[in-house]
Amino acid sequence: MSKAFTRENDAPEDEDDSPTPAAALPAGGKNYITPQGYARLRAELLQLIDEERPKVVDIVHWAASNGDRSENGDYLYGKKRLREIDRRIRFLTRRLEIAEVVDASAHAGSDQVFFGATVTYAEDTGDERTVTIMGIDEADNAQQQISWISPVARALLKSREGDEVSLMTPAGLRTLEVLHVCYPEPPNQD
C-alpha cells in the first residue's frame, strides 16, 4: 500500500483537541473567561489563521513540489505542523464559541468572592496566599491565577472577607480564612 494512504499515528482523527486534560470543562459548566483572556485567545486564533498557517502551507507546497515526499523532511514536518495548527484552531474556535465573557470589574468594591476576584487567604498552617480566580483557558499557576473549577476556587467562591471555608485535600480537611478580596477597577468611560 502506498504511504500516501496510511496514517502516521493511530490516534483517531477527531481526537480531543484540548491541549491538556486539565482544560476540560465540567459537565454542563460554562466556559467563563475574562475580557482580557477572550481577547488573548481570539488574537492567538487570528494569528494562527492569518499568519502561521499560510506560511506552513507555503512550505508544504514547496516541499511537495520537490519530489519524493516519503523522505522529504520539510514536507513531513510541515504536514505534522499543519495538523497541530489545525487542531489548535479547532480547539480555540470551539472554546471561543462557548465562552461566556465575565467582566469582574462589575464587582469592584465588593467583599464577596466571585469570578475574577483576587483573593488573599490564610491557610490553617499560617501561610498566606493570594490568587486570582480566572477562566480555565487563561489561568496560570506561575502568575498565581487559578481556574474557577479548581478545588481552592470552588471553596472560596461566594465567601466574604473574614469567612472561613473548608477545603478537602488529599492530606485531609483544611481551613482557609478569607483575608482580602479585590477586583479590577472598571475601565474609564471618558
Residue 73 region by backbone torsions, left for phi larger than 0, else alpha for psi between -120 and 50, else beta: alpha
On the question of pLDDT at 28 being above 70, the answer is no
Closest CA to 78 of 67, 69, 91: 69
- Residue 1 pLDDT > 70, yes or no? no
Mean pLDDT of 19-25: 51
Contact, 117 vs 108, CB < 8 A? no
pTM score, whole prediction: 0.74
pLDDT at 189 over 80: no
CA atoms within 13 A on the CB side of 123: 12
Give the residue with greater pLDDT, 6 vs 106: 106
pLDDT tens for each residue of 51-103: 999 999 998 888 888 777 777 788 889 899 999 999 999 999 999 998 999 98
Domains defined along the chain, listed by start: 29-101 (1.10.287.180), 105-182 (3.10.50.30)
